[in-house]
Chain A
Amino acid sequence: MTDLSKLRNFSIVAHIDHGKSTLADRLLEACNTIDLREMEDQILDNMDLERERGITIKARAVRLNYQADDGEDYVLNLIDTPGHVDFNYEVSRSLTACEGAVLVVDASQGIEAQTLANTYLAIDAGLEVLPVINKIDLPAARPQEVKQEIEDVIGIPAMDAPEISAKNGINIHSVLELVVRDVPPPQGDRDAPLRALIFDSQYDSYRGVIVYLRVMDGMLTPGMDVRMMATGAEYKVVECGYLAPKGMIPCDGLGAGEVGYLTASIKTVSDTRVGDTVTGAANPAAEALPGYKAVQPMVYSGVYPADGSKYGDLRDALEKLKLNDASMSYVQENSIALGFGFRCGFLGLLHMEVILERLEREYNLDLITTAPNVVYQITKTDGSEIEVYTPLNYPDPAEIAEAREPFVKASIISPQEYVGNIMELCQQRRGEFKDMTYLDTTRVELHYEMPLNEIIYDFFDALKSRTRGYASLDYELLGYRPSKLVKLDILLNGEQVDALSFILFADSAYARARKTCVKLKENIPRQMFEIPVQAAIGGKVIARETIKALRKDVLAKCYGGDITRKKKLLEKQKEGKKRMRSFGTVSVPSEAFMAVLKLDDDD
């Protein structure tokens, strides 16, 4: 067990693309934790999807052994964090497991939106923030100015910040020295009852759930009985250890201050929620660590196999994903248009995109997704209360006494020159302005109260495009407020397609209806006859487009030598049609469903 004074627990925070993952790779390399030939770029991001999108979705941790210039051996635990507002809660838990954060800032770009947002998260978590200037070897590097910016905007000393190039391995050593020198060693009483913070968990088909944790107090040893304080689940620890880049190394015990993992034949990650406290069943701690909350899905969407016969495959895939992702939920749903599928709950739109992409990639499924919605509360005229997770269950307007939708408090940080754009956007999205404060001479923080529904579609994208990527967004749930809601139905060739229905604010219905009809018209190929596309509220049509009849789909020449080729062409066309869903006589490609999910407000 490592002496507390020789332990350093830290994470790296940065704006996207400022070099966080590359620096992590270099630190691993510098500590010889991993052979050069085994290096694969960005080892910490080990989901393919993470590597491609350049984002970290699940947090990871790794232990580095480092002999510092003072001749002493140190153990450095590097804890990686996800970088998106959907996963803010996970970020805050990961940071809570550390005492310090290395803040990577690009020497030419300077401070950007996520630099600030992540720094504030680190400061909120009580971490020592250590600035590092990266990409120092780029021609446009301006390290002195960037250091000044850090001092002015964030208000932490930065003049001595190491100037490095993670890509080319320049000055990596100084970052390690900085961590040893400036990250406070962890505190904690190894004789107290066990309290360990779960900051991540992962399902492994051989060992069950692997729980990543930071021991705050006491000792964790194999064989001991532990209890998850929030969920109440109890397990006997099979193994505990720490995390090397190449895998898990079992050990005799983890003491206060240490970061590692435990396995205990846990069958589902739902029992080991991020933020929960692990304590000893025999000698439990009096109080759990602060800050736990049960993460609830905020966004719901219907997920259907594009090929109806793949329903079983989709169910199996969701079951497996759920083992590894406690924040996702799913229940069976039955649409007249799409057949059997699931109503799935997600933390946010990115979470949804990631899950859908994993389903398609890792489980080789073609999916049709319906428009995401929040959870609505309805008081019916008979006095009963219901929660609506899907437009399929939205009651008849005559039965609704009051409809309520969730509101959030949104906080947006941005350079002040974009305030006008932001205000305009928030107003469009039914935002109610609360206040604005200057963080310094150039940066402002705005607070709005707005419906969650307005945020889940494309608000973050719209915000970024209006602020050249500088604004950052955070939001928290305020609760439910009464609202004027309607259900918009879509009709193709006069027949209602239930999977295209959605619930929205009444005043937005007309514009949204028109856009949806246009998008469908653009994305449904012309067919043998004209197809009216209509949007209706309670039977009253409020928008209409027409998909003109296909007039030419013919092979002009077909003689002896063309027959085989023509057969293949028709076969291909038949395959293409199979990938579409038929509604009555209308074939709709899954892209059409996707297109109505992405309605750009700037049109």
Chain B
Amino acid sequence: MLLNKPPKKAPSEIKPLGLYIHVPFCRSKCEYCDFYSLGGGLNHESMDLYLQAVLAHIKEASQRVVGYAVDTVYFGGGTPSFFDAQGLNRILAEIDRRFQLEKDAEITLEANPDSVTAQSLEKLRRAGFNRISIGVQCDEDVKLKALGRPHTYKQAQLAVSQARRAGFNNVSVDLMFGLPNQSREQWMSTLRNVLDLKPDHVSCYGLKVEPNTPLYEYKEGANLPDDDAQADMYFYAVETLESFGYQQYEISNFARPGFECRHNLKYWMGEPYLGFGPAASSDFGGKRFTAAANLDQYITGILEQGVILSECDTIPLRERAGEYLMLRLRTSVGIEENEYMQTFLLPFAPLEELLCMYEKRDLARKEETGRWRLTPKGFMVSNSILVQLLEAQQKSKPLAKIRGN
């Protein structure tokens, strides 16, 4: 069951914690990517310094984290698989040594098809990685090339089967739709072909053209599907994946039952996590903080006790209430009246009034459990919905007394 009960407040109890390791190296930078990564290929010197810094950072942070057990670890990027397996394993070993790492922890590696081999995958699996998320994106080599992806679809197929052979029994694939020149039919066939690989988990992202990316510069001439076409592709994906037994548990994420990504769910459930590496964010101890998106600054900061954070905010309860709506409504878990009122001491009625209106328009629905969630149609316009809900929330007055207390 996805629904996690609100964390109990007993201080003696060990609380769960997620760790995120940002590995900012790539073979090359993709045309649409605005994540922090260095696309210049192998640079052993930087990579080595990075490794030293992350190891030191883990050691230092672990000393200040008491009463938590790590139950998810996620290596994201960049292209973590582009970093050599030995280095990744050293980071994981350091985590195991410094933190209380649960036996059944979910340990995910993001990987690109071109930077894994049967051997490296076996090494990683043996070291404890038990979930792999492979960036497949598309099944047409022409499109992959145009996006700047350094691999073919054949390599992607191979990577999936090699991961299986190496013993990964939790394999996820990333797909993108709304690509330049992509027709609905092409997307349909991509989905069908990728489902033949029998992944346990699928992420489908609508391409978003971000400023400061190469694609942004030529987006006008890129023949991008319009919003309506993207919406059609999305709804097709939701339908198809559901019919193949993949349940939608977040706007862009689908999984066979039991294969939902526990780490990512922490983000949407508002649970604590710590990030390592440049540009990595943490939400811990009531604060959300982010390391500077600058490898040199990160390395110097860690190794010479300098400044590594670019942002650090204490999030007051009132703002957490907004995050609750914004993040939970991304998921099929959704929101619930008593949970909301008791956590944030705010009235649910103004929100429910809007939710009822959305329900009439098939944008939201109230489950039998009493929880409200958005429908796929609602997910697709969730920004507009959130703006209205947040407005209503902002206007609402704190409750004087909680019902039932």
Q: Which of A529, A561, A564 has the most CB of B within 10 A?
A: A561
Q: Which residue of B lies closest to A551 (CB)?
A: B231
Q: Which of B76, B323, B381, B387 contacts A551 (CB 8 A)?
A: B381
Collect the chain A residues with CB atoms within 8 Å of residue B322's CB. 567
What is the distance, in angstroms, from A392's C-beta to the closest C-beta of chain B?
29
Distance in angstroms between the alpha carbons of A553 and B283 in the assembled complex: 26
* Contact between A557 and B252, CB atoms less than 8 A apart: yes
Q: A551-B381, A564-B290 are in contact. Are A556 and B283 (CB under 8 A)?
A: no
Q: Which of A527, A551, A555, A577 contacts B391 (CB 8 A)?
A: A577
A585: interface (CB < 8 Å): yes
Q: A573-B383, A573-B387 are in contact. Are A560 and B275 (CB under 8 A)?
A: yes
A552: interface (CB < 8 Å): yes
Q: A559-B267, A564-B288, A577-B391 are in contact. Are A585 and B357 (CB under 8 A)?
A: yes
Distance in angstroms between the alpha carbons of A197 and B358 in the assembled complex: 67
Distance in angstroms between the alpha carbons of A566 and B358 in the assembled complex: 22
What is the distance, in angstroms, from B252's C-beta to the closest C-beta of chain A?
5
Distance in angstroms between the alpha carbons of A553 and B374 in the assembled complex: 14
* Contact between B390 and A570, CB atoms less than 8 A apart: yes
A47: interface (CB < 8 Å): no
Interface size class for chain A?
20 to 34
Q: Which of A555, A560, A561 has the most CB of B within 10 A?
A: A560
Q: A529-B361, A553-B382 are in contact. Are A561 and B279 (CB under 8 A)?
A: yes
* Contact between B228 and A551, CB atoms less than 8 A apart: yes
Distance in angstroms between the alpha carbons of A569 and B381 in the assembled complex: 14
B251: interface (CB < 8 Å): yes
A253-270 vs B, Cβ < 8 Å mask (1 yes, 0 no) = 000000000000000000
A564-580 vs B, Cβ < 8 Å mask (1 yes, 0 no) = 10110110011001000
A558: interface (CB < 8 Å): yes
Q: Which of B22, B227, B323, B384 contacts A527 (CB 8 A)?
A: B384
Distance in angstroms between the alpha carbons of A417 and B380 in the assembled complex: 58
Collect the chain A residues with CB atoms within 8 Å of residue B251's CB. 554, 556, 558
Collect the chain B residues with CB atoms within 8 Å of residue A567's CB. 322-323, 326
Collect the chain A residues with CB atoms within 8 Å of residue B372's CB. none
Distance in angstroms between the alpha carbons of A556 and B311 in the assembled complex: 23
Interface residues of B in 353-370 (CB under 8 A from A): 357-358, 361, 363
What is the distance, in angstroms, from B175's C-beta to the closest C-beta of chain A?
11
Collect the chain B residues with CB atoms within 8 Å of residue A554's CB. 206, 251, 379-383
A550: interface (CB < 8 Å): yes
* Contact between A555 and B383, CB atoms less than 8 A apart: yes
A521-534 vs B, Cβ < 8 Å mask (1 yes, 0 no) = 00000011100000
Interface residues of B in 375-405 (CB under 8 A from A): 379-387, 390-391
What is the distance, in angstroms, from B333's C-beta to the closest C-beta of chain A?
14
Distance in angstroms between the alpha carbons of A566 and B357 in the assembled complex: 25
B327: interface (CB < 8 Å): yes
Q: A554-B379, A556-B252, A561-B290 are in contact. Are A566 and B384 (CB under 8 A)?
A: no
* Contact between B206 and A556, CB atoms less than 8 A apart: yes
Distance in angstroms between the alpha carbons of A550 and B377 in the assembled complex: 10
Q: Which of A552, A556, A566, A570 contacts B205 (CB 8 A)?
A: A556
Collect the chain B residues with CB atoms within 8 Å of residue A566's CB. 326
Q: A560-B273, A563-B267 are in contact. Are A552 and B281 (CB under 8 A)?
A: no
What is the distance, in angstroms, from B349's C-beta to the closest C-beta of chain A?
18
B264: interface (CB < 8 Å): yes
Q: Which residue of A lies closest to B176 (CB)?
A: A556
* Contact between A561 and B280, CB atoms less than 8 A apart: yes
Distance in angstroms between the alpha carbons of A514 and B343 in the assembled complex: 52
Q: Which of B363, B382, B386, B391 has the most CB of A within 10 A?
A: B386
What is the distance, in angstroms, from A257's C-beta to the closest C-beta of chain B?
66
What is the distance, in angstroms, from A354's C-beta to the closest C-beta of chain B?
36
B373: interface (CB < 8 Å): no
Collect the chain B residues with CB atoms within 8 Å of residue A559's CB. 76, 264, 267
Collect the chain A residues with CB atoms within 8 Å of residue B45's CB. none
* Contact between B267 and A560, CB atoms less than 8 A apart: yes
Interface residues of B in 216-230 (CB under 8 A from A): 227-228, 230
* Contact between A564 and B384, CB atoms less than 8 A apart: no
Distance in angstroms between the alpha carbons of A570 and B390 in the assembled complex: 9
B208: interface (CB < 8 Å): yes
* Contact between A556 and B208, CB atoms less than 8 A apart: yes
Q: Which of B76, B288, B363, B384 has the most CB of A within 10 A?
A: B384
Q: Which residue of B lies closest to A585 (CB)?
A: B357
B129: interface (CB < 8 Å): no
Collect the chain A residues with CB atoms within 8 Å of residue B361's CB. 528-529
Distance in angstroms between the alpha carbons of A527 and B280 in the assembled complex: 35
B283-311 vs A, Cβ < 8 Å mask (1 yes, 0 no) = 10000101000000000000000000001
* Contact between B267 and A570, CB atoms less than 8 A apart: no
Collect the chain B residues with CB atoms within 8 Å of residue A577's CB. 387, 391
Q: Which of A553, A563, A564 contacts B381 (CB 8 A)?
A: A553
B104: interface (CB < 8 Å): no
* Contact between B326 and A552, CB atoms less than 8 A apart: no
Distance in angstroms between the alpha carbons of A585 and B356 in the assembled complex: 13
Distance in angstroms between the alpha carbons of A552 and B361 in the assembled complex: 15
Collect the chain A residues with CB atoms within 8 Å of residue B76's CB. 559
Q: A564-B288, A564-B290, A564-B313 are in contact. Are A558 and B327 (CB under 8 A)?
A: yes
* Contact between B267 and A553, CB atoms less than 8 A apart: no
What is the distance, in angstroms, from A336's C-beta to the closest C-beta of chain B?
21
Collect the chain A residues with CB atoms within 8 Å of residue B387's CB. 570, 573-574, 577
A: residues with CB less than 8 A from B are: 527-529, 550-561, 563-564, 566-567, 569-570, 573-574, 577, 585
B: residues with CB less than 8 A from A are: 20, 22, 76, 205-206, 208, 227-228, 230-231, 234, 251-252, 264, 267-268, 273, 275, 279-283, 288, 290, 311, 313, 322-323, 326-327, 330, 357-358, 361, 363, 379-387, 390-391
Knowing that A554-B380, A564-B281, A570-B390 are A-B contacts, what are 20 other residue pairs whose CB atoms are under 8 Å apart, sorted by A's residue number? Answer: A550-B227, A551-B228, A551-B231, A551-B381, A552-B206, A553-B380, A554-B251, A554-B383, A556-B251, A560-B273, A561-B275, A563-B283, A564-B311, A567-B322, A567-B323, A567-B326, A570-B386, A570-B387, A573-B383, A577-B391
Can you identify 17 A-B contacts, CB atoms within 8 angstroms? A550-B381, A552-B227, A552-B230, A552-B381, A554-B206, A554-B251, A554-B383, A555-B208, A558-B327, A558-B330, A561-B281, A563-B281, A563-B283, A563-B323, A564-B281, A564-B290, A570-B383
